[in-house]
């Protein structure tokens, strides 16, 4: 395969068109986000001053900054660091991921653990940056999309949605045929994932001659979800607008008028069409109201955000040149030579490794700081219960060490644990090049008081000639699990239960799925007086008592919404909670469907910087 040339002016035109289309679509869809009915929009709402702020673009500005900070070897762990520093959104998966990252977890475990929103749209909406810094290289774009999406969607459809869009958008640099681009995108996600199935059904119904409204109804019937941000239905609506749209305007309006996560569907389709058409191909009536401005949401802060689309485009291209060089691609950005592609979509096989990668484990390259060709690869698997341990409980961890160097390595694996804890004896290791060893280690918690997290480390001690040659210490945390007393239907005898996260899993604790009244109680430890939003999110009738007083009484089944910022109003209470220990008692009635109940202590809207509705990570459920 020969060298491919991407003319620098063509590069600028495609990237600028994509960012402009993103602004147009996001501004169109944002005001009606979450409306589930069929809409009838024909144009923007009245705009006070240029484009509307939108997380679809906000997050990608942070990722551009992350690329500038860390370079082309950027990983999900570094993206997680950027999130903690610069992103203060409480929304759905964003809020859960931020809570995990603040407590010391790293991706992908931080994006999976205790997170009920991994199937949502928070990551598919931020695919463009990866496509634009990997022009004509969908395998690279999908790689970065995986790194990104696992920060807050690990194990869910959000990961596949972002990989799908990133591959499409990267391929636009050498291919503009709609159907070919969709086929390319589908190569980078599993055939049987919900996103792929929704898109393939959409195409089948389109080819059968269904009109767009009938196709929308079929998507909702076969792939719909109550949560308006669920990814498969919204990704299908994005592609629906593309399939049925007669031009740019018609396409983004059809996507938006499907309803649901409208800012996401319109913004992504606007970006795709903007990349294909270029800025000169976008209608002036849609361009003029948004102009060249970049508007950043207030909870995105602390870094040099671009002020306009020209700056954003130039910084994107600057990083694209570095990415293409670092990956040793056959793609050359040239200021004078005309664009000439000698490339086809490739690399799906390399990306497929991510489809089966466990979300319960974190991966480290040693020596730490290594980005490529490490001496050792270490994975730490927490198991399906996740990175949590209860008081007096034991926890089994599995470490896997692979020698990726060209020489034999000798040494030992051991655990650094908190004071008074006990752990497995060290494992002596002798590894030939390419060999792997697995170590199943157990730790026993012995803290004198309940605490929210525990700091541990895996220690790799390398030996040479019988002497300690070097020591590599990989820190990790185990979170303090919640301790509850639980009762099942008709039971008067309490059962002690330890829950790793915020979900009350009566089925696991009691071994029953019978209908009826389920109860649970715990002590909520609050280290300081504070204003508090206490949420009992449930898919069933639910009641919550605080110190014997009923504070939440929701007698009817509501939409299950365990979000910090948008819970059902009947399933939350805001109050000032004194410091100390407070009795919490929960009742929920199972009526056919498996119970889903989350207990969430979060801040109120009125907070000091950085933002509202964040999770109180210093509070504990304990007995």
Q: For residue range 474-483, list pLDDT tens digits in order.
A: 999 999 999 9
Residue 345 has a pLDDT of 53
Closest CA to 612 of 97, 98, 30, 88: 88
Q: Among the three residues 441, 459, 479, which one is the final residue of a domain in this structure? A: 479
Overall number of domains in the chain? 3
In this structure, are 84 and 128 located in the same domain?
yes
In this structure, are 469 and 557 located in the same domain?
no
Phi/psi at 423 (5° precision): -150, 170
CATH of the domain at 338: 1.10.4080.10
pLDDT one-digit tens code per residue, 70-93: 999 999 999 999 999 999 999 999
**CA dihedral in degrees (267, 270, 272, 275; nearest 10)?**
-120
In this structure, are 336 and 405 located in the same domain?
no
Kindly state the DSSP code that residue 592 receives in the 8-state scheme: S
Three-class SS state of 127: coil
Kindly state the DSSP code that residue 236 receives in the 8-state scheme: H
In this structure, are 241 and 366 located in the same domain?
no
In this structure, are 461 and 512 located in the same domain?
no
pLDDT one-digit tens code per residue, 257-296: 999 999 999 999 999 999 999 999 999 999 999 999 999 9
User: 284 Cβ partners below 8 Å, 6+ apart?
Assistant: none
The token duo for 495 is 């059962």
Residue 49 has a pLDDT of 81
In this structure, are 448 and 494 located in the same domain?
no
pLDDT one-digit tens code per residue, 133-156: 999 999 999 999 999 999 999 999
DSSP assignment of 141-160, as one string? HHHHHHHHHTTT-TTSHHHH
CATH of the domain at 531: 2.60.120.260
In this structure, are 384 and 502 located in the same domain?
no
Whole-angstrom CA distances from 146 to 165, 239, 613 are 11, 21, 27
In this structure, are 189 and 336 located in the same domain?
yes
Q: Among the three residues 428, 452, 479, which one is the final residue of a domain in this structure? A: 479
In this structure, are 440 and 382 located in the same domain?
yes
Over pLDDT 70: what percentage of the chain?
99
Per-residue confidence band for 569, with pLDDT thresholds at 50, 70 and 90: very high
Residue 447 has a pLDDT of 85
In this structure, are 57 and 196 located in the same domain?
yes
pTM for the structure as a whole:
0.97
As a whole number, mean pLDDT of residues 495-504 equals 97
In this structure, are 314 and 368 located in the same domain?
no
- The residue range of the domain holding 574 is 482-622
- CA 537, 605, 542 angle in degrees (round to 5)? 15
Q: Among the three residues 462, 479, 496, which one is the final residue of a domain in this structure? A: 479
Kindly state the DSSP code that residue 359 receives in the 8-state scheme: S
CATH of the domain at 365: 2.60.40.10
Residue 514, judged by CB atoms within 10 A of its CB (0-12, 13-18, 19+), counts as: exposed
In this structure, are 239 and 292 located in the same domain?
yes
Over pLDDT 90: what percentage of the chain?
94
As a whole number, mean pLDDT of residues 536-551 equals 98
Per-residue confidence band for 349, with pLDDT thresholds at 50, 70 and 90: confident
């Amino acid at each position: 395969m020969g060298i491919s040339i991407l003319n620098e002016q063509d590069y600028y035109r495609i990237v600028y068109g994509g960012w402009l289309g993103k602004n147009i679509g996001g501004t169109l869809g944002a005001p009606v986000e979450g409306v589930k009915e069929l809409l009838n929009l024909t144009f923007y709402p009245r705009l006070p001053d240029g484009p509307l702020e939108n997380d679809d673009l906000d997050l990608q500005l942070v990722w551009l900054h992350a690329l500038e900070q860390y370079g082309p070897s950027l990983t999900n762990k570094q993206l997680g660091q950027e999130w903690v520093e610069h992103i203060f959104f409480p929304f759905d998966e964003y809020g859960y991921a931020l809570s995990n990252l603040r407590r010391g977890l790293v991706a992908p475990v931080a994006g999976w653990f205790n997170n009920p929103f991994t199937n949502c749209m928070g990551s598919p909406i931020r695919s463009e940056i990866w496509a634009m810094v990997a022009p004509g290289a969908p395998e690279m774009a999908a790689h970065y999309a995986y790194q990104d999406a696992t920060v807050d969607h690990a194990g869910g459809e959000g990961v596949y949605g972002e990989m799908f869009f990133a591959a499409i958008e990267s391929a636009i640099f050498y291919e503009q045929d709609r159907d070919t681009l969709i086929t390319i995108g589908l190569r980078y996600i599993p055939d049987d994932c919900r996103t792929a199935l929704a898109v393939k059904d959409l195409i089948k119904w389109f080819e059968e001659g269904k009109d767009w409204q009938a196709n929308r109804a079929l998507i909702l019937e076969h792939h719909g979800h109550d949560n308006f941000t669920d990814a498969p239905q919204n990704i299908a609506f994005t592609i629906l607008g593309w399939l049925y749209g007669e031009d740019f305007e018609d396409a983004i309006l059809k996507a938006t008028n499907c309803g649901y996560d409208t800012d996401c569907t319109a913004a992504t389709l606007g970006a795709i069409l903007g990349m294909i058409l270029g800025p000169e191909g976008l209608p002036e009536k849609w361009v003029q109201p948004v102009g060249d401005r970049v508007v950043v949401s207030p909870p995105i802060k602390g870094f040099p955000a671009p002020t306009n689309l020209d700056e954003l485009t130039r910084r994107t291209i600057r990083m694209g040149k570095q990415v293409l060089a670092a990956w040793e691609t056959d793609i050359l950005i040239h200021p004078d030579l005309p664009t000439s592609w000698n490339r086809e979509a490739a690399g799906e096989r390399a990306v497929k490794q991510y489809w089966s990668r466990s979300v319960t484990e974190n991966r480290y390259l040693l020596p730490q700081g290594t980005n490529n060709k490490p001496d050792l690869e270490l994975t730490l698997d927490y198991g399906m219960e996740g990175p949590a341990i209860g008081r007096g409980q034991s926890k089994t961890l599995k470490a896997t060490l692979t020698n990726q160097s060209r020489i034999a390595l000798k040494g030992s694996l051991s655990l650094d644990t908190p004071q008074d804890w006990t752990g497995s004896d060290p494992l002596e290791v002798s590894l030939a090049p390419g060999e792997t060893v697995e170590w199943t280690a157990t730790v026993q918690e012995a803290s004198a008081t309940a605490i929210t997290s525990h700091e541990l480390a895996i220690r790799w001690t390398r030996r040479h000639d019988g002497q300690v040659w070097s020591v590599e210490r990989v820190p990790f945390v185990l979170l303090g699990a919640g301790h509850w007393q639980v009762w099942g239907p008709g039971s008067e005898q309490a059962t002690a239960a330890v829950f790793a996260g915020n979900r009350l899993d009566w089925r696991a604790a009691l071994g029953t799925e019978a209908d009826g009244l389920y109860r649970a109680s715990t002590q909520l430890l609050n280290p300081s007086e504070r204003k508090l939003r206490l949420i009992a999110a449930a898919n069933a009738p639910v009641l919550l008592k605080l110190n014997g007083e009923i504070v939440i009484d929701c007698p009817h089944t509501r939409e299950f919404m365990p979000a910090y910022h948008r819970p059902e109003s009947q399933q939350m209470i805001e109050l000032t909670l004194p410091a100390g220990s407070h009795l919490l008692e929960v009742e929920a009635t199972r009526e056919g469907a498996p119970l889903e109940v989350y207990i969430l202590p979060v801040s109120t809207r009125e907070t000091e910087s950085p933002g509202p509705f964040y999770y109180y990570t210093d509070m504990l459920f304990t007995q």
